Amino acid sequence: MLPSEYKIFHESFMKNNNGTTAIDSFLYIIPSSFAIFHTITLTSVLRLNSNSNVPARFLVEFLTICLSLVLYTTIFSDAISHICITLILITITSIIRQLHGKCHLTPFVQIPAILPDFITVGRSIISLITAVCILAVDFQCFPRKLAKTEKFGFGLMDVGVGLFVFSNGIVVKHSAAAFSKKKFQKLLVSCLPLFILGFSRLVLTKEINYQEHVTEYGVHWNFFITLAVTKIFGTVLEGFMKTAEHIKYSALMLLMFHETCLQLGLSNYIMDDNVARNNLIAANREGIFSTTGYVSLYLASIYIGTLLKSDGQELLKVREVFHKAVKLGLTSAFCWKMIYVCNGMFGVSRRSANMGYNFWVLAVGTSMMFLFMLIEMFIYYINFNRPQWQQVEPNTKAQLNEPEFHVPYVPLILQAINYNGLAFFLIANLFTGIVNVCFQTMLLSTSASILIITYYTFLLNVIMVFLFVNKFKLKIW
């Protein structure tokens, strides 16, 4: 097929997707949580936790976390409900077996609160799922229901965009100090790499005539610009908030304002295909007018982050962590309920980042963090009565300023992704572009597609682990 014909074919194939249900899209995220749990258990049994076993540890983690992700989002996607049920049953059995005879430790178990590892796990797995999907979506073995929706609906890739904003928001350290000119200048400098990446992507896609889906963000706008603008406006607003409660109510008020504007005609303007893209604002209306929704999501994520962290305490008793988990679980349940309320009233749209979309992202994000909190509590339960010198990796404590009692359970691959987060996403986008330039991906067989996606995931993680092991942090700016 000629390149010009293939470009039209690829773009038309991506159009008019209505997605699936909120629960169905979440089912494709659940297996990663259980895969991480069993990876931690397996590496512990095989004694692969030390830095001297990097190749073996990497191979085990790649097979259990990365390869499984590739398979259940492609050729085994139709069996996702059976996969989830099987993993849940196996996990429950494993937990009961390992916790047997250890419940008496409950009053004594303590968990580090300053640098909670479950946040690292959550942020890294969001990046990994996103990286796999941005390439896999260009192959026919990837279910169309998981791709980005055209106007309204639920797709795995739809929630991935919001989860990226969520993962950035939950690690923000809220300060009651007044927002200063110096802080604003520092903020602009920190966002400059995102703008550079955004404009570079724009120039390259136009230069090589790369296939585009204009209704995602607009003609010139893209994901990097959305991240940069969201961070700037979100950080400025957060800077004027004195308490976490102020952030929460500000997020709600901003979201209500955004939804009101959408209902008063802004949504029709964004969605109407008959509106000409004859000026800069009209050409990029999706990216520009969804910004308010993403900023409210960013603020809400900062508030969620305050629920996950301690108030300066180095260690928390497991009961205290459990209470935090319960609070997070209730927040998640409320967000899940609001998804269906909003969907019944005005739909869920990533394209406009409306109220339903905000609650959907928060529901998925808080559910993931809830699961990872439970995993972390379990890890500290089963490791509590081991000598401390066996729990901390050599040199790790000194490098990361960790508390005395710390179990380094985070899989190596996820540590590496978190260590070079922006670089990981940049390289993933670069590799995706190279694959699409070299192959007409939509025309490849299933076996060839799986082979390419697997090799791409393998190479991407090899690079990240190499950089992490050698303590080489890529500075985009």
pTM above 0.75, yes or no: yes
Which runs of E-coded beta strand occur in 22-175? Answer: 110-112
What are the φ and ψ backbone dihedral angles of 303, each rounded to 5 degrees? -65, -45
Report which DSSP code applies to 386: S
Query: Domain residue spans in the chain?
Result: 3-469
Report d(CA 460, CA 465) in Å as an integer.
9
The answer to whether the beta carbons of residues 219 and 280 sit under 8 Å apart is: no
> Residue 179 corresponds to which tokens in the numbers above?
């927002």
Average pLDDT over residues 158-179: 86
Residue-level pLDDT at 153: 92
The answer to whether the beta carbons of residues 98 and 382 sit under 8 Å apart is: yes
Q: Please, which residues have CB within 8 angstroms of residue 98's CB and are 6 or more apart in sequence?
A: 41, 378, 382
Report d(CA 421, CA 288) in Å as an integer.
25
Which runs of E-coded beta strand occur in 123-269? Answer: none
Find where tokens 């085990």 sit: 60
Residue-level pLDDT at 100: 74
> Residue 388 corresponds to which tokens in the numbers above?
């401390």
CA 26 centroid distance within chain? 13
Give helix 244-261 / helix 291-308 axis angle, nearest 10°: 160
Percent of the chain with pLDDT over 70: 91
Residue-level pLDDT at 398: 42
Residue-level pLDDT at 162: 94
Residue-level pLDDT at 396: 46
Residue 390 has pLDDT above 60, yes or no: no
Report d(CA 158, CA 148) in Å as an integer.
5
Backbone angle region of 210, left / alpha / beta, with phi > 0 → left and psi within -120 to 50 → alpha: beta
H/E run at residue 334: helix 318-345
- What are the tens digits of pLDDT across the range 181-224? 888 888 888 888 889 888 988 888 877 777 777 888 888 898 99
The answer to whether the beta carbons of residues 167 and 127 sit under 8 Å apart is: yes
What are the φ and ψ backbone dihedral angles of 233, each rounded to 5 degrees? -65, -40
Residue-level pLDDT at 176: 67
Report d(CA 87, CA 49) in Å as an integer.
23
> Residue 208 corresponds to which tokens in the numbers above?
């090589």
The answer to whether the beta carbons of residues 125 and 368 sit under 8 Å apart is: yes
Average pLDDT, the chain: 87
Residue-level pLDDT at 230: 95
Residue-level pLDDT at 156: 93
The residue type at 244: A
Residue-level pLDDT at 404: 56
**Band of the pLDDT at 13, cuts 50, 70, 90?**
confident
Find where tokens 């963000």 sit: 217
Report d(CA 309, CA 70) in Å as an integer.
32
Report d(CA 434, CA 416) in Å as an integer.
23
- What are the tens digits of pLDDT across the range 283-337? 999 999 999 999 999 999 999 998 887 776 777 888 888 899 999 999 999 999 9
Report d(CA 134, CA 458) in Å as an integer.
15
**Band of the pLDDT at 380, cuts 50, 70, 90?**
confident
Residue-level pLDDT at 39: 93
Residue-level pLDDT at 105: 61
> Measuring CA to CA, how many Å separate 23 from each of 30, 126, 159, 304?
10, 17, 12, 21
Report d(CA 374, CA 358) in Å as an integer.
24
